[in-house]
């Protein structure tokens, strides 16, 4: 990896293709820059490639794919001097919407080459692979959009990856409906900056947007070293449908059975699935903290 500019592309992202990724590389080269292109084959490849690129001194990585690809690259370069720009080619492109990056190849590449570098804070979550919480089994991962615990974590856990590949958003909707039919959650106990709350689902937002242009945590920002936490206290199917309607209409924060608050450390006890930036991560218990000034992001 001799080039200081790297393009890491996921050719199986919903809107991605090798043709689009190669076109992006051609646009970069047409401006006089050199860029080296790497395509991923499987989950985890983007993180491995990004980490190796950062170790070898890459100044900029352009991540081409969906929010899952961006999350992998972030986990490969967090805490380094390597900057990241994005070429949104995924299903919902939440990060692109959050940053105002155009969802077309030329527009996104223009931003990657001429945008400003912003130092942003990330979320950092730790879980245990085994219930005994043995130190060697702890797993830590960064996220830039949200950690979803409970209903949406379970929906992502149950999603058919083959369906997602061909139907995109339809896979999330189908899995959500399947999850709703069988939904019987256990209570979660959340310690939010030392105060205790209980609920059945929670969204810990590092950014405002969720699932597209919806805003579950509208006050959250990548630029501030804090989260906003949306705790849902209802457990019935009718509660979930009401929360979804509230999020669609932007009224959910006015519901009496939703708690919304700013936080820096969130500890979650209970038994629930977790998704990070739209991809499945694991199960609670979990500890979520802020990683300040963790990423150089171009937009």
- pLDDT value at 115 more than 60: yes
Whether domain 122-292 has CATH 2.60.200.40: the reply is yes
Rounded to whole angstroms, the Cα distance separating 212 from 94 reads 5
How high is the mean pLDDT of the chain? 91
- pLDDT value at 167 more than 60: no
Rounded to whole angstroms, the Cα distance separating 229 from 219 reads 10
| CA max distance for the chain | 58
Confidence of residue 128 (pLDDT cuts 50, 70, 90): confident
What pairing do the DSSP bridges indicate for beta strands 265-269 and 188-192?
A: antiparallel
Residue pair 108/101 in contact (Cβ under 8 Å)? The answer is yes
Residue pair 40/9 in contact (Cβ under 8 Å)? The answer is yes
Could you give the angle at the alpha carbon of 56 between the alpha carbons of 137 and 93, nearest 5°? 65
Alpha-carbon 107 to chain mean position: 22
Rounded to whole angstroms, the Cα distance separating 75 from 279 reads 13
**pLDDT at position 15, please?**
63
List the single range of 155-164, 198-207, 269-278 with lowest mean pLDDT: 155-164
Confidence of residue 1 (pLDDT cuts 50, 70, 90): very low
Could you give the angle at the alpha carbon of 90 between the alpha carbons of 64 and 289, nearest 5°? 80
Residue pair 70/297 in contact (Cβ under 8 Å)? The answer is no
Burial readout 161-186 (b: 16 or more C-beta within 10 A, e: otherwise): eeebeeebeebbebbbeebeeebebe
Neighbouring C-alpha atoms within 13 Å toward the C-beta of 277: 26
Domain boundaries, given as residue ranges, for the chain: 5-115, 122-292
List the single range of 3-12, 204-213, 268-277, 288-297 with lowest mean pLDDT: 3-12
Give the tens place of pLDDT for each residue, 37-95: 999 999 999 999 999 999 999 999 999 999 999 999 999 999 999 999 999 998 889 99
* Topology of domain 5-115, CATH: Rossmann fold (3.40.50)
Confidence of residue 212 (pLDDT cuts 50, 70, 90): confident
Give the tens place of pLDDT for each residue, 172-201: 566 666 777 778 899 999 999 999 999 999
- pLDDT value at 136 more than 70: no
- pLDDT value at 282 more than 50: yes
Percent residues over pLDDT 70 in the chain? 89
- What DSSP string describes 59-126? SEEEEEE-HHHHHHHHHHHTTSS-EEEEEE-SSS-HHHHHHT--SSHHHHHHHHHHSPEEEEEEEEEE
């Amino acid at each position: 990896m001799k080039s200081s500019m790297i393009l890491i592309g996921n050719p199986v992202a919903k809107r991605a293709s090798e043709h689009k990724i190669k076109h992006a590389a051609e646009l970069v080269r047409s401006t006089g820059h050199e860029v080296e292109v790497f395509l991923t084959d499987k989950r985890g490849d983007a993180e491995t490639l990004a980490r190796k690129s950062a170790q070898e001194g890459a100044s900029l990585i352009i991540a081409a794919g969906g929010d899952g690809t961006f999350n992998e690259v972030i986990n490969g370069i967090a805490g380094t001097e390597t900057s990241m720009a994005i070429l949104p080619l995924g299903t919902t492109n939440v990060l692109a919407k959050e940053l105002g990056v155009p969802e077309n190849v030329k527009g996104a590449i223009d931003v990657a080459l001429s945008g400003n570098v912003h130092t942003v804070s990330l979320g950092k979550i730790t879980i245990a692979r085994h219930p005994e919480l043995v130190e060697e089994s702890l797993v830590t991962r960064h996220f830039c959009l949200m950690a979803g615990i409970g209903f949406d974590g379970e929906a992502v856990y149950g999603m058919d990856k083959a369906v997602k590949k061909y139907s995109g958003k339809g896979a999330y909707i189908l899995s959500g409906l399947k999850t709703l039919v069988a939904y019987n959650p256990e209570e979660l106990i959340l310690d939010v900056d030392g105060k205790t709350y209980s609920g059945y689902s929670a969204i810990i937002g590092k950014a405002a947007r969720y699932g597209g242009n919806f805003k579950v945590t509208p006050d959250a920002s990548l630029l501030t070293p804090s989260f906003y936490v949306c705790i849902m206290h209802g457990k019935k199917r009718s509660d979930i449908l009401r929360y979804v309607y509230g999020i669609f209409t932007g009224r959910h924060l006015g519901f009496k059975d939703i708690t919304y608050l700013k936080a820096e450390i969130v500890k979650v006890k209970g038994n629930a699935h977790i998704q990070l930036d739209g991809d499945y991560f694991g199960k609670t218990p979990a500890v979520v903290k802020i990683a300040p000034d963790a990423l150089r992001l171009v937009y």
